[in-house]
Structure 1
Amino acid sequence: MSETTLPVDRPVAPPPARVGNRGLVLATLLTCQLMLILDVTVMNVALPRIQDDLRFTPTGLSWVMSGYTLVFGGLLLLGGRAGDVFGRRRMFVAGITLFTVASLAGGLAGSAEMLLAARVAQGVGAAMAGPSTIALITTTFTEQHARMRALALFSAMASSGFAIGLIVGGLLTEWLSWRAVLFINVPFGIAIAILAVRLVPETDRRRARLDLPGAITATLGVGALVYGFIRAAEVGWGDTVTLAALAAGAALIAAFVLIELRAEAPILPLRLLADRDRAAAYVNFFLGPMAGMSMFFFLTQYLQDVRDFGALTTGFAFLPMAGTLFATSRLIPRLLPRFGPKPLSMFGSALMVAGMLMLTQLTVDSTYPAGLLAPMILMGGGMGLAFSPLNVIIMSTVPPADAGAAGGALQTMQQLGGTLGLAILVTVFGSSSRAATAAGQSPDQVLTTGATDAFQVSVVIAALSFLVALTFRARSRR
């Protein structure tokens, strides 16, 4: 049999969250999302101390980051559909509990192997909880303006979490220890799990078929693509294993699409892509992280290696971008009903292009106020306007039964885009750096040249997101 029927008890609909609890429900869900995104970047600044403490090899050290990203990205589609089938609050609580236990184990790790195992378990927990987070927001906040506001805040957390992760990682590593970067998840994870059980309404369970062939091909396909992109960033695009992983991933994704076309209850209902605006939003959720990841990755190195910023100062250098992004996202509930997604996404993408263009002009002598502050603000405002509406576009009209699958697909596109973008840009950086070294440039000049050339590619990607924004339907003002 291609699909397995899951007997489920007759659902007993729980009472909806009380109006007085809605703020706390939203805070619980948003804190979870922030914590999951933080762990993508929060350990960046702690890696040197982790290497010294646990005696990681340089190659093994990269898997402290990649192990989490690979499992998180590979299991998101399965986690999203599992929430639809088994109950979203149930998956949310189980996922955040696993994530919390894994964080504690990672903080206590006495060997490299134990830390990597904990990071993989964190990725599994994040993939279980993440899609249900956005699905629970959609089904809990049913009034249009409240849902739009909640989804805009979710987007702000998802985007600014990368920058906040650098700040938190710098603070904890410099003041306490790299282990505190993992231990900090424990009290927040416990609080989130308890509040979710008490306040977050459970969605109905229903008799459904779990699309096992779709789940297997999607998980292995996305996992192979993510692994291929990560390996390409480490060893280059000519590596045999890299090419084999990417080819296998592409073949599995093609098989996945064929399975979904025939499945009775697909893990990713392709009808979600039938709406033009929703399909365009998914594409831009792929392109946005592709362009944005270069700023976090290369500017972190530029600030520390060229401008001699400390880990904590580097984290705070991203604060204007995070603050602008969050403030802009708060305006989305007012701006989106009035103007529609098209002008907001176009203007936001144009701001991103402008910010990236300014970053291509960096030199070894550029100061933070003159060379970096303005691009940070432009990127924060651009990302807020261009991508905060996308959550609303995707989730506001999706059928409730497919909310988990839609949320899983959304976050999968985000993970794939960020991973692929980083692999492409690191390749550009490496090629440019080798040429600069051969030309006799200093180490600071080599890094700056490689970073600015990578930013040029990011300009092209941001421009593509502008072109995709042109396909959104024009909407009259209300």
Structure 2
Amino acid sequence: MTETSSPTLKQAQKNKLTLLLCIILTFTVMNGTMFNVAIPDIAEEFGLLPSEVSWVMTGYILVFAIGSLMYGKLADIYPIKTLLTIGIILFASGAALGFLSQSYPMLLAARTLQAMGGATIPALSFIIPARFMPNERGKVFGIVASTVAFASGAGPIAGGVVGGALDWRFLFIFSILSLIAIPFLRKWLPNEEKRDGKVDIVGAVLIALSITGLLLFITDGSLYALVFAIVTALLFGWRTVTYEQPFIQPSMLKNRYYTSAIITSFLGTVAMFGMIFVIPIMARDLYSLSTVQIGLLLFPGAMAAGIIGQFGGKLIDRKGSYPVTRIGFTLVIIGTILISTFTGFPPWIIALCILVQYIAFPLIQSSTANLLTIIIPKEKTGVGIGLFNLLNFLAGAISSAVFGSILDLSNVSTLLNPLAQNGENTIYANLFIGLALLSITALLFFSFIFKGFENNKGK
């Protein structure tokens, strides 16, 4: 693949583009989290079983996760301006179809179309700073990651308010409004020439099928899906080592720094989404909070993450990714231990504990993304960050399935945290101690692999 130089942006153009990216990214992330609170209403309207209505979220995550990798690969060849324009049009078109949906199949088609388009936004939001803002990429990564954290907390509140006051269909309005961003994106994004290269269609289909099987196994527990995922993964591996221009270059996966960075980010995202998944269930079970109250429980942490993430991005540019990643995981460990210890205490205390863990998310996301831009050759940034995004989405699906299964357990009496109170909160206290141990493992692994990396490679 022939490498081409990236256009230089003026500072005012960078600021406008960053703000616009954050706005459309907010629409995309909220579109996912808002519908969590609407699931019961959708099930009631269409007379669906829980396993049936779950496809409103499962189908969206499935297409979104695969799309995040595909668009990353396409960005190595085609202009980002073109990909984002097509993506936003698909995203808004799916939202319009969803707003008009009168049947469950029509709703599923709408969510699929939304995911096909919406996947462009987080995928390219991490590639744009790497390509067009190399001297400020840490700062912009921090802003992007803090936007994701903020929107994930604001989504349930917006969903509860809009869905409660009007109807769940009105949740699609937020996504339709994203069309407003197209003329500004086309004005502020630089023009690029199409790069040399081609997409390995067979490899793309194989990895998409493997991910589909894995997600179906995670969400539905189907052993057939697991076997299918393994077989297609093996075929993808064979294709990768035998084809001249495979979808993912083997040299990228052999790079221990690259694989270690995406594994570290994956584990951090598991801890983050595990907390977001468990807290609403715990709040309803132990405190009998309403949907809006649960959203308010998470909201201070989301707000704090939005603020701290921007500071963390500037810190990355000054000090490098290694110390910021370590700070992020240290905060996750402290936060999960605090939640475990104070489970069963008044909700406002839990909100403060959540805040500690929440602010770690943008630090880990932005610092590991910045590491990838150092490790990956410039002409492979798209697929490299695409795989990073894919694993983060899989982390959300895996954490929900695993922690949901754990919460199905009954009669848990052994308390793993000696500082916590025993009782009906025991399972929650144990679960958060488990997240703390997972985060400690991730921190030790990262520290071992990357110790001295930035001294040798630069920040």
Q: TM-score, normalised on structure 2?
A: 0.89
Assess if the C-alpha contact under 8 Å between 1:341 and 1:389 holds in 2. yes
1:220 aligns with 2:220: no
Query: 1:140, CA displacement in angstroms?
Result: 1.9
> Which residue is 2:192 aligned to?
203
Letter in 2 for 1:403: T
> Which residue is 1:106 aligned to?
98
Query: 1:362, CA displacement in angstroms?
Result: 4.8
Letter in 2 for 1:264: E
> Which residue is 1:367 aligned to?
346
> Which residue is 2:127 aligned to?
135
> Which residue is 2:442 aligned to?
465
Is there any run of 5+ residues in structure 1 with no aligned partner, and where? 233-241, 437-444
Whole-Å Cα distance in 2 between the matches of residues 216 and 283 of structure 1? Answer: 23
1:454 aligns with 2:444: no
Whole-Å Cα distance in 2 between the matches of residues 118 and 326 of structure 1? Answer: 30
Assess if the C-alpha contact under 8 Å between 2:412 and 2:426 holds in 1. no
Query: 1:131, CA displacement in angstroms?
Result: 2.1
> Which residue is 1:398 aligned to?
376
> Which residue is 2:296 aligned to?
316
Assess if the C-alpha contact under 8 Å between 2:60 and 2:115 holds in 1. yes
Q: Number of residue pairs matched?
A: 447
Assess if the C-alpha contact under 8 Å between 1:72 and 1:123 holds in 2. yes
Cα distance change of structure 1 residues 246 and 446 upon mapping to structure 2, 3 Å threshold: farther
Whole-Å Cα distance in 2 between the matches of residues 272 and 164 of structure 1? Answer: 36
Query: 1:379, CA displacement in angstroms?
Result: 0.2
Letter in 1 for 2:345: S
Cα distance change of structure 1 residues 450 and 224 upon mapping to structure 2, 3 Å threshold: same
Match of 2:361, SS?
helix
Whole-Å Cα distance in 2 between the matches of residues 472 and 290 of structure 1? Answer: 21
1:254 aligns with 2:234: yes
> Which residue is 1:336 aligned to?
316
* Residue correspondence of structure 1 range 297-312 to structure 2 within 5 A: 297-312=277-292
Letter in 2 for 1:358: L
Deviations 1:82-101 (A, max 9, x none): 23223222111111110111
Whole-Å Cα distance in 2 between the matches of residues 350 and 129 of structure 1? Answer: 29
Query: 1:400, CA displacement in angstroms?
Result: 3.3
Letter in 1 for 2:168: W
Query: 1:330, CA displacement in angstroms?
Result: 1.4
Q: Aligned match of 1:193 in 168, 179, 182? A: 182
* Residue correspondence of structure 1 range 15-26 to structure 2 within 5 A: 17-26=9-18
Q: Aligned match of 2:60 in 59, 62, 68? A: 68
Deviations 1:188-228 (A, max 9, x none): x1112222222212332123222122111111111211121
* Residue correspondence of structure 1 range 258-273 to structure 2 within 5 A: 258-273=238-253
Assess if the C-alpha contact under 8 Å between 1:73 and 1:226 holds in 2. no
Match of 2:198, SS?
strand
Deviates more, 1:90-99 or 1:457-466: 457-466
> Which residue is 2:386 aligned to?
408
Assess if the C-alpha contact under 8 Å between 1:74 and 1:226 holds in 2. no
Whole-Å Cα distance in 2 between the matches of residues 217 and 455 of structure 1? Answer: 36
Match of 1:65, SS?
helix
Letter in 2 for 1:153: I
Whole-Å Cα distance in 1 between the matches of residues 90 and 36 of structure 2? Answer: 22
1:165 aligns with 2:142: no
Letter in 2 for 1:288: G
Deviations 1:415-444 (A, max 9, x none): 11121122211111112x3668xxxxxxxx
Whole-Å Cα distance in 1 between the matches of residues 82 and 445 of structure 2? Answer: 36
Cα distance change of structure 1 residues 227 and 32 upon mapping to structure 2, 3 Å threshold: farther
Q: TM-score, normalised on structure 1?
A: 0.85
Whole-Å Cα distance in 2 between the matches of residues 174 and 451 of structure 1? Answer: 29
1:177 aligns with 2:167: yes
> Which residue is 2:418 aligned to?
none
Cα distance change of structure 1 residues 244 and 452 upon mapping to structure 2, 3 Å threshold: farther
Query: 1:290, CA displacement in angstroms?
Result: 1.3
Whole-Å Cα distance in 2 between the matches of residues 354 and 207 of structure 1? Answer: 47
Assess if the C-alpha contact under 8 Å between 2:69 and 2:390 holds in 1. yes
Query: 1:367, CA displacement in angstroms?
Result: 0.7
Deviations 1:258-283 (A, max 9, x none): 32233333322333345444332201
Whole-Å Cα distance in 1 between the matches of residues 3 and 334 of structure 2? Answer: 52
Letter in 2 for 1:422: S
Query: 1:303, CA displacement in angstroms?
Result: 2.1
Cα distance change of structure 1 residues 148 and 435 upon mapping to structure 2, 3 Å threshold: closer
Whole-Å Cα distance in 1 between the matches of residues 378 and 3 of structure 2? Answer: 15
Q: Aligned match of 1:290 in 246, 249, 270? A: 270
Assess if the C-alpha contact under 8 Å between 2:38 and 2:163 holds in 1. yes
* Residue correspondence of structure 1 range 75-90 to structure 2 within 5 A: 75-90=67-82
Whole-Å Cα distance in 1 between the matches of residues 226 and 56 of structure 2? Answer: 21
Whole-Å Cα distance in 2 between the matches of residues 340 and 17 of structure 1? Answer: 23
Query: 1:65, CA displacement in angstroms?
Result: 1.0
Query: 1:320, CA displacement in angstroms?
Result: 1.8
Match of 2:367, SS?
helix
Assess if the C-alpha contact under 8 Å between 2:219 and 2:401 holds in 1. yes
> Which residue is 2:406 aligned to?
428
Query: 1:289, CA displacement in angstroms?
Result: 1.9
Query: 1:405, CA displacement in angstroms?
Result: 0.8
Whole-Å Cα distance in 2 between the matches of residues 374 and 18 of structure 1? Answer: 40
Assess if the C-alpha contact under 8 Å between 2:160 and 2:292 holds in 1. yes
Identity percentage over the alignment?
A: 21
1:52 aligns with 2:53: no
